[in-house]
Chains A and B, each alone.
Chain A
Amino acid sequence: MTPVAKVLLGEVQAGDRLADFAYDVTATTIVLGALAARDWRPMHHDYDFAVHRNGTQNIFMNTPNQAAWFERYVTDWTGPTGRLGRMKFRMLGSVYPGDRMVFSASVEAVTTDAVGCGWAHLLVTLAVEGETKTDCTVAVALPTSRTDNPWDRRGERWLP
């Protein structure tokens, strides 16, 4: 079995910063992401449509694929025991082929809810050349001990 690294709630505190992650976007990144998300709309694969109909500078990354990038970035940090509870995106600009995406994040708060689930609240940004294209607030459940597993929670024990 693949070794499972995990971040425990007690190891995290407000003000912590996650390591940045950078990725060079190509047209393949945009098209592959859109098709993986079953998003067939032409502004995510058809340059002429994006430029001449939508008035954008190129095809651009779709929202579900951005969600997948944010999830990957957060769970690279938490390990597989990190369980996403809530993500809120604010799209400020588009991501195009040729852009170098840089993901960065800070821990805004660490909480334990009424049913004992531990949460890290993150502010994650996706920036290109220092300009924020999307920011994303994330609530991710973390184990409170070596034996705790947020994925075991159901129904009234899971309050995202």
Chain B
Amino acid sequence: MSDQTPLEVALPAAVVDLIGQVQYETPGDFPVEQGYIATSCASVENGNPLFWDPEVADALTNGPIAPPSMISVWFRPHHWAPGRTEEALPLQVHFDLKATFDLPEAVMTDNTIVFHDPVRPGDVLKTRQILRSVSGPKTTKLGTGRFWVIDVEYLNQHDALVGVETYTGFGYRRDAA
């Protein structure tokens, strides 16, 4: 008897082989910076003195840190860069799956973030992506497609884990009206 569920049997072997594999281990484009921390806090009117008052940051966290929820910000590529010939995509495994299954649209439905060591200005994070699962075909109010779960691990320049983010995406094709 096979260990695979019917849904897994329906997946292409190339996709099954990727489940659990580390992919796209890449460094961030730039060091974590104070200005972006202020921009993020301003966007949600977050007045936490930890991010605005250096004395509070010294007292509580031995110096400035970034809001934990900013963790994904530090690996999102620039919208444009000299010499780039293809669009850089921040969660490449997600876009690979859209292409593999020919699903032009996608949304994220669930997102879990676990925070470890604080991220500090000057840190250069690196990330790696791990596909955890892909569902069989599903139909929702958006259209017909598949759900998938992707882990993104974040480490700093000392190889200390700073966070793990788990995304559930739904890639879909809008149903004909």
Contact = CB atoms under 8 A, between A and B. Distances in A.
Interface of A: 1-2, 4, 29, 32-33, 35-40, 53-55, 63-65, 67-72, 75-76, 80-81, 83-91, 149, 151, 154, 158, 160
B61 A151 contact: yes
A24 to B, nearest CB: 12
Contact of A89 (B49, B55, B110): B110
Nearest to A4: B56
Contacts of B100: none
A2 B53 contact: yes
A81 to B, nearest CB: 6
Contacts of A68: 40-41, 43-44, 46, 67, 69-70
Interface of B: 36, 39-50, 52-53, 55-56, 59-61, 67-70, 72-73, 76, 79, 90, 105, 107-118, 142, 174
B60 A149 contact: yes
A55 B40 CA distance: 28
A120 to B, nearest CB: 15
9 contacts: A2-B56, A37-B40, A37-B72, A67-B113, A75-B46, A80-B49, A87-B69, A87-B112, A160-B116
B109 A91 contact: yes
A54 B141 CA distance: 12
Q: From DSSP, what is the main secondary structure of chain A's interface residues? A: mixed
B68 A84 contact: yes
B46 A67 contact: no
B118 to A, nearest CB: 7
Given A2-B53, A84-B69, A65 B112 contact: no
A71 B43 contact: no
B26 to A, nearest CB: 15
Contacts of B109: 90-91
B48 to A, nearest CB: 5
A40 B79 contact: yes
Contacts of B117: 154, 158
Given A35-B43, A64-B69, A160-B116, 16 more contacts: A1-B55, A2-B52, A2-B55, A4-B59, A37-B43, A37-B70, A37-B76, A39-B90, A55-B105, A65-B44, A67-B113, A71-B46, A87-B112, A89-B110, A91-B111, A158-B116
A80 B56 contact: yes
Contacts of A86: 112-115
Contact of A151 (B60, B110, B111): B60
